[in-house]
């Protein structure tokens, strides 16, 4: 199905096996604030590496999987079947970095991250700048052979486990005054402090604290690319992450379709399985139909990237994929809770967990409203036929 090659099917199969191995740990994680024993997590990470599911997006010359976009989608789709972010151990380091990293940055950050020895986090969003990244007020000022960074960043995912952060700021002084620049900050570093760690809807071990950077000094060698480049990295990363969000939404929806179908066949009311009731059948059928449509869209978008489609077209198509797949998964999760009835409201039930977890897929990496604006903008500039 979907015209997958033998190699695509092999990697999909390995990813499915891995997801199936993680699923039994979900409820323990859910009931323990998202945490599993450290040795268990280390074992999961080692298994991801052993199965060739770690850093699938990174070039082979750097030790990564060198997978096609479609293969990466297949892996992330399986990861999406697992709740509580347990599959995040199969990390995807920043794929935009190798082409701009200096030899020093490749050795210090990229290669160790591809090996699984280091972990990054992203400090870009601020209280007054989320959808509008250009609204950031964090600053970077050159001072001799280093930069001084200041700013308060929100929702810094994985700050509690990361050992370096990408920090985006606007330059103060110099020829590129007011332009964006991206820096790598080692963690911990003097001047980097957690303001607070808010609770979020999902139950995962990765926290999203608000982090204060106060007069943090980083060597000039930690500037990524050139001064003024900051926004271009963000756009490249958005493209990658948006289609991978879409892929994980496919996996979440697939899990729910499987589980709600099994439950509907098994649960009997007044002597008949609820699967025989028209109202329940409608929810099952709508869910699978929308999943099929979303999967076709996401796979086709990945194939376009692999075939070298125009970057702006890719950008709009990744937005369409994220928009449709995340909204689809939200509808499927809502139906799944309904099909499970009272059980669907219990934290030990996968529908309850995915109902909460999938909600953020419509928010992070650009909200649904932002995706619509991107698509419409490209439709107006290029014409609808250029995109679909």
Ligand X SMILES: Cc1cc2nc3c(=O)[nH]c(=O)nc-3n(C[C@H](O)[C@H](O)[C@H](O)COP(=O)(O)OP(=O)(O)OC[C@H]3O[C@@H](n4cnc5c(N)ncnc54)[C@H](O)[C@@H]3O)c2cc1C
- Quick one: 162 or 336, whose CB is closer to ligand X? 162
Q: Which long-range contacts (CB under 8 A, 24 or more apart) does 258-267 make?
A: 259/336, 259/350, 259/351, 260/284, 260/287, 260/335, 260/336, 260/339, 260/340, 260/351, 263/339, 263/340, 263/343, 264/339, 267/341
Looking at 42-50, 214-222, 251-259, 360-368, which segment touches ligand X (CB under 6 A)? 360-368
Crossing angle, helix 6-22 and helix 38-50, to 10 degrees?
170
Residues 148-177 touching ligand X, rule: CB under 6 A, are 155-157
- Quick one: 173 or 198, whose CB is closer to ligand X? 198
Rounded to whole angstroms, the Cα distance separating 102 from 224 reads 8
Residue count, binding to ligand X (CB under 6 A): 18
Residues 107-146 touching ligand X, rule: CB under 6 A, are 122, 124-125, 130-131
Strands 146-153 and 210-219: antiparallel
Q: Which residue is at the shortest CB distance from ligand X?
A: 130
- Applying CB under 6 A, which of residues 93, 252, 330, 366 lies at the interface with ligand X? 366
227 neighbors 176 (Cβ within 8 angstroms): yes
CB of 318 to ligand X, least distance (A): 15
Per CB under 6 A, does 309 bind ligand X? no
Helix, coil or strand: residue 294: helix
Residues forming a β-bridge with 273? 268
- Applying CB under 6 A, which of residues 4, 23, 288, 363 lies at the interface with ligand X? 363
Rounded to whole angstroms, the Cα distance separating 371 from 387 reads 14
CB of 341 to ligand X, least distance (A): 29
Element at 329 (helix H, strand E): helix 311-340
- Applying CB under 6 A, which of residues 370, 374, 375, 387 lies at the interface with ligand X? 370
236 is written with which tokens? Answer: 């490249």
- Quick one: 131 or 214, whose CB is closer to ligand X? 131
Torsion of CA 12, 13, 17, 23, to 10 degrees: 40
CB of 378 to ligand X, least distance (A): 15
- Quick one: 130 or 330, whose CB is closer to ligand X? 130
Rounded to whole angstroms, the Cα distance separating 168 from 229 reads 10
CB of 201 to ligand X, least distance (A): 8
- Quick one: 242 or 335, whose CB is closer to ligand X? 242
- Applying CB under 6 A, which of residues 23, 373, 379, 386 lies at the interface with ligand X? 373
- Quick one: 94 or 225, whose CB is closer to ligand X? 94
Rounded to whole angstroms, the Cα distance separating 288 from 290 reads 5
Per-residue interface string for the shown chain with ligand X, residues 237-276, x marking contact by CB under 6 A:
----------------------------------------
Looking at 61-69, 209-217, 266-274, 359-367, which segment touches ligand X (CB under 6 A)? 359-367
Q: Which long-range contacts (CB under 8 A, 24 or more apart) does 58-63 make?
A: 58/92, 58/93, 58/95, 58/98, 58/110, 58/114, 59/98, 62/98, 62/106, 62/110, 62/111, 62/114, 63/111, 63/114, 63/115
- Applying CB under 6 A, which of residues 208, 248, 322, 335 lies at the interface with ligand X? 208
Binding stretches for ligand X (CB under 6 A): 122, 124-125, 130-131, 155-157, 200, 208, 360, 363-364, 366-367, 369-370, 373
């Amino acid at each position: 199905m979907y015209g997958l090659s033998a190699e695509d099917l092999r990697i999909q199969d390995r990813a499915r096996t891995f997801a199936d191995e993680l699923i039994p740990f979900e409820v323990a994680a859910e009931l323990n604030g998202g945490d599993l024993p450290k040795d268990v997590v280390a074992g999961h990470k080692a298994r991801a590496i052993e199965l060739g599911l770690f850093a699938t997006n990174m070039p082979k010359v750097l030790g990564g999987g060198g997978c096609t976009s479609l293969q990466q989608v297949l892996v992330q789709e399986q990861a999406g079947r697992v709740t509580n972010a347990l599959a995040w151990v199969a990390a995807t380091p920043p794929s935009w970095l190798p082409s701009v990293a200096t030899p020093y940055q490749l050795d210090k950050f990229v290669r160790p991250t591809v090996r699984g020895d280091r972990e990054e986090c992203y400090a870009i969003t601020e209280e007054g700048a989320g959808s509008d990244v250009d609204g950031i007020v964090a600053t970077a000022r050159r001072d001799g052979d280093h930069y001084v960074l200041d700013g308060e960043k929100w929702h810094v995912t994985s700050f509690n486990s990361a050992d370096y952060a990408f920090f985006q700021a606007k330059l103060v002084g110099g020829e590129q005054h007011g332009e964006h620049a991206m820096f790598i900050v080692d963690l911990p570093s003097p001047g980097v402090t957690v303001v607070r760690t808010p609770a979020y809807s999902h139950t995962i071990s990765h926290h999203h604290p608000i982090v204060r950077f106060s007069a943090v000094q980083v060597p000039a060698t930690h500037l990524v690319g050139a001064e003024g480049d900051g926004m271009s990295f963000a756009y490249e990363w958005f493209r990658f992450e948006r289609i991978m969000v879409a892929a994980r939404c496919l996996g979440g929806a697939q899990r729910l379709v499987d589980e709600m179908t099994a439950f509907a066949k098994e649960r009997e009311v007044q002597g008949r399985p609820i699967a025989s009731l028209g109202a329940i059948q409608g929810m099952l059928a709508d869910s699978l139909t929308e999943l099929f449509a979303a999967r076709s869209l996401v796979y086709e978008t990945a194939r376009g990237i692999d075939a070298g489609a125009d970057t702006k077209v890719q950008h709009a198509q990744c937005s369409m994929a994220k928009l449709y797949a995340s909204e689809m998964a939200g509808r499927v999760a809502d139906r799944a809770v309904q099909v499970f009835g009272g059980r669907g409201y219990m934290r030990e039930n996968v529908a309850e967990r995915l109902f909460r977890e999938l909600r953020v897929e419509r928010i992070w990496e650009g909200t649904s409203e932002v995706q619509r604006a991107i698509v419409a903008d490209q439709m107006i500039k290029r014409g609808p036929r250029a995109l679909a």
